[in-house]
Structure 1
Amino acid sequence: VQLQSNKEDNAADPLLCIITSPPCFPPPHPPSPFRETPASSPIISATFPHPSSSSLSSTRSSRRTLSVSIATTTISSLILSFYSSALSKSAINTDFFDLPNSGGVKALDLRPGTGATPVDGDQVVIHYYGRLAAKQGWRFDSTYDHKDGIGEPIPFVFTLGSGKVISGIEAAVRSMQVGGTRRVIIPPSQGYQNTSQEPIPPNFFDRQRLFTTIFNPTRLANGEGSTLGTLIFDIELISLRH
């Protein structure tokens, strides 16, 4: 069955908005200096000439509560806005670099790690967001969409050097430190070579869309293989076990 290409496949530069986008992973929230208190509705007295003392007291209390709530919300918003802006500017102003011996994988460290660096044979635990450049950065899979019985995201676990995972992810993780987050651009030669390589999207429709795009025989015959399988992954190295 020949698949018709979508308009979204023909973007002039599908990597531009992806590369400069903020990190997918939620930033750590700094502790707020206040406990957030929902704002109470201000009390408006119906008798304007001589408001009672209880009404004045209630109004002043309401105004104080409202002022604290506004200040708390404003401070929290400024902190998170500054943090997100700093990460975004860092991602935009920092150049990608070629990972050595990776077959052309380009990387950008969004948040450097401080822990150990894995070696072949280690069991590594990661969170990731995977996107497809040929679909304008369509997110085909994320570990944050995989939930356990209590609703917590399930990380992806694999053995480094086992060959079960696409080469681009192995190359990216091999030089990371635990706690770090890295964005990588994986060329088709280091991405999916068959439909059994991990990570595999658990959702059938996402999996079908991903593989019918990458392995589209008509478009491969037209010489589009160099662009169909380009992947963008945001990877967070959670832990490792020797």
Structure 2
Amino acid sequence: MVQVKFPQMGTRLAAKQGWRFDSTYDHKDDNGEPNPFVFVLGSGKVIAGIDVAVRSMKVGGIRRVIIPPSLGYQNTSQEPIPPNFFDRQRLFTTIFNPTRRANGEGSTLGTVIFDIELVSVRHP
């Protein structure tokens, strides 16, 4: 089990002038602390670029990762995605826009930028 935070610069979409679409700092627990994003490394439930980046990080480390479409969102069921439906819809409308892809923008539409802080790793 891996816990990461996406600091205040958060998660951005490169194609929309760096549109920031999420940050774990936007989602607080009852104590006002950011809720970390939790996933199982290698489960296939997160985008491949996050999985690859976290594997080479140390707990406490912070890294900016530019994830190309080939390692990014391939479908709308992959994590991490914003819990707010409007932002989620806007994100996927941008990434999977067939008209813009047909116009040759496909290589940049799905590029995402994550600032990642590795909070903890728990081995089963």
Query: What TM-score does the superposition give when structure 2 sets the normalisation length?
Result: 0.93
Structure 1: distance between partners of 2:81 and 2:67: 16
1:231 paired residue number:
112
2:75 paired residue number:
194
1:212 matched to 2:93? The reply is: yes
Any unmatched runs of 5+ in structure 1?
1-122
After the TM superposition, list the runs of 4 or more consecutive aligned residues in structure 1 that deviate by more than 3 angstroms: none
2:17 paired residue number:
136
The structure showing larger relative contact order (alpha-carbon pairs under 8 Å, at least 6 residues apart) is: 2
Aligned partner of residue 225 in structure 1, secondary structure? helix
1:125 paired residue number:
3
One-letter identity of the residue aligned with 2:62: T
Aligned partner of residue 226 in structure 1, secondary structure? helix
Q: CA deviation at 1:153?
A: 1.0
Name the structure where strand makes up a greater proportion of residues: 2
In the alignment of these two chains, the number of paired residues is: 120
1:165 corresponds to which of 41, 46, 56: 46
Structure 2: distance between partners of 1:150 and 1:177: 26
Superimposed CA distance per residue, residues 170-223 of structure 1 (whole angstroms, 9 cap, x where no aligned partner): 010000001100011100111000011000101112111111000001111222
One-letter identity of the residue aligned with 1:137: G
Structure 2: distance between partners of 1:133 and 1:215: 14
Structure 2: distance between partners of 1:153 and 1:185: 23
One-letter identity of the residue aligned with 1:172: A
Aligned partner of residue 104 in structure 2, secondary structure? coil
CA RMSD of aligned residues (A): 0.8
1:184 paired residue number:
65
Aligned partner of residue 154 in structure 1, secondary structure? coil
Any unmatched runs of 5+ in structure 2?
none
Identity fraction in percent? 82
Structure 1: distance between partners of 2:103 and 2:97: 10
2:55 corresponds to which of 163, 174, 192: 174
Q: CA deviation at 1:151?
A: 2.1
Q: CA deviation at 1:149?
A: 2.2
One-letter identity of the residue aligned with 2:33: E
Aligned partner of residue 185 in structure 1, secondary structure? strand
